[in-house]
């Protein structure tokens, strides 16, 4: 293990920081400002929700980094839960990621992309779902074929996501003239800070990948916390800047009404029709690349579970295509579930469902820091700063969002809980089949 760790330690501080920024910034900053404004009712509370979401994310990333250093194994959250809480909880974590989290994220991104593309070309609004479905299927085929186009898409999307953020933030702050603070959103829905923070967590989602870099860094004890803090601070500042800029350009009620089209509308106001179209293309590239990355990576969870016989019909889901060398069965399964979700749910409900589905397991992984310090000597590579305050902030923030979501969106949350509970008899059945197979073999 030590040799493997040494071979991987070639990432420095600046590369680590850019990876943090790149994995966190996706579609949320373009899609969620209107949702957060609507949920809070005022611009002040909306901006505060973005700050609170950032603090929870920062505490979560710093806490998870210590867990990942103490358990330097591949598999991420699934592996951590299994290592600390046992195989049953590990299975349920992977099961929820497979059936709810992964497909819901893919479905939401596909629907967001379809909405923006339909608006860009002035297609009928009801065409957005079909466009989203076609885009998801296209990227599924490209990723199954193992094409190198995926790498190009990811590189282009990184540039695509940063350019519109920077331009909207800078020019919106300089050229806008609308009031930013103490502005009513005009929303008639029930005010819910929990729902608003949950929406921001979609924009901050991706931080779980931060801790996975510990074994690849030159000096993780020094560079890991610095990369997490600096990277997430850049993201928080970027998100706040874009939201303030949008409020400075568009009335709060208009942002709520425009929803996912608010950023491209603000760009048109700031840069004219042509400039607005160029920035809208940048936003589309960003979401397209983000969707590509999810379709590429998410099937790896069910694929890994199927390889260990931890999914029904595991032979199909663990199948690697003989020519293209890609997990074709797991990829098709994830996309098939995503397509069903795209038909029956809207993208905002899917994002809430996705984040809620993994929040419980996030909370368990944060609490694991306390268990690890009791069970074993904490690794000298890295220890979470301001212990125990930082993990407590992560746990309390997670618990608050879980309770608020249960109150405000009971149907979607009960669906996620129901899927997790269904996983219990599935695991028992698979475990019994393995036991019978071993008895026959012996």
Kindly list the domain boundaries of the chain, sorted by start residue: 13-435
pTM, rounded to two decimals: 0.85
Residues of the chain with pLDDT under 50: 1-8
Instruction: Identify the CATH class of 13-435.
Output: mainly alpha
Q: What are the φ/ψ torsions at residue 341 (nearest 5 degrees)?
A: -65, -35
pLDDT of residue 28: 87
pLDDT of residue 3: 39
CB atoms < 10 A from the CB of 421, how many? 10
Q: Please name the residues in contact with 323: beta carbons below 8 A apart, sequence gap of 6 or more.
A: none
**Helix (H) / strand (E) containing 174:** helix 149-175
Say if residues 204 and 351 touch (Cβ distance below 8 Å): no
pLDDT of residue 394: 95
Q: pLDDT tens, 92-144?
A: 999 999 999 999 999 999 999 999 999 999 999 889 999 999 999 999 998 88
């Amino acid at each position: 293990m030590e040799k493997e760790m040494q071979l991987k330690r070639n990432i420095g501080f600046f590369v680590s920081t850019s990876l943090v920024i790149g994995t966190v910034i996706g579609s949320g900053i373009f899609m969620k400002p209107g949702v957060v404004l609507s949920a809070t009712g005022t611009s002040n509370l909306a901006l505060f929700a973005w700050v609170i979401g950032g603090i929870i994310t920062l505490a979560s990333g710093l806490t998870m980094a210590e867990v990942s250093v103490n358990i330097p194994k591949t598999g991420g959250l699934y592996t951590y839960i299994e290592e600390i809480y046992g195989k049953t909880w590990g299975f349920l974590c992977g099961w929820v990621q497979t059936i709810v989290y992964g497909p819901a994220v893919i479905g939401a991104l596909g629907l967001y992309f379809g909405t923006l593309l339909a608006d860009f070309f002035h297609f009928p609004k009801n065409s957005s779902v079909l466009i989203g479905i076609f885009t998801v299927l296209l990227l599924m085929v490209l990723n199954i074929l193992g094409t190198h186009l995926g790498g190009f898409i990811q590189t282009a999307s990184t540039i695509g996501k940063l350019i519109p953020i920077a331009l909207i933030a800078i020019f919106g702050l300089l050229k806008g003239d609308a009031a930013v603070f103490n502005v009513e959103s005009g929303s008639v829905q029930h005010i819910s800070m929990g729902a608003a923070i949950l929406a921001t967590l979609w924009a901050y989602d991706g931080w779980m990948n931060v801790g996975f870099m510990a074994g690849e860094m030159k000096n993780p004890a020094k560079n890991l916390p610095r990369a997490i803090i600096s990277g997430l601070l850049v993201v928080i500042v970027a998100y706040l800047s874009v939201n303030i800029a949008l409020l400075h350009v568009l009335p709060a009620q208009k942002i709520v009404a425009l929803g996912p089209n608010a950023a491209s509308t603000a760009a048109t106001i700031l840069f004219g029709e042509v400039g607005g179209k160029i920035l809208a293309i940048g936003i589309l590239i960003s979401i397209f690349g983000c969707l590509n990355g999810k379709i590429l990576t998410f099937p790896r969870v069910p694929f890994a579970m199927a390889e260990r016989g931890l999914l029904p019909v595991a032979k199909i889901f663990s199948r690697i295509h003989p020519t293209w060398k890609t997990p074709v069965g797991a990829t098709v399964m994830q996309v098939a579930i995503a397509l069903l979700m795209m038909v029956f749910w809207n993208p905002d409900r899917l994002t809430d469902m996705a984040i809620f589905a993994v929040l419980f397991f996030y909370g368990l992984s944060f609490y694991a820091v306390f268990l690890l310090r009791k069970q074993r000597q904490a690794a000298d590579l890295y220890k979470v700063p301001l212990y125990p305050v930082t993990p407590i902030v992560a746990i309390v923030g997670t618990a608050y969002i879980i309770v608020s979501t249960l109150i405000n969106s009971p149907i979607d949350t009960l669906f996620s809980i129901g899927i997790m509970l269904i996983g219990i008899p599935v695991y028992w059945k698979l475990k019994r089949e393995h036991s019978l197979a071993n008895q026959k073999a012996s």
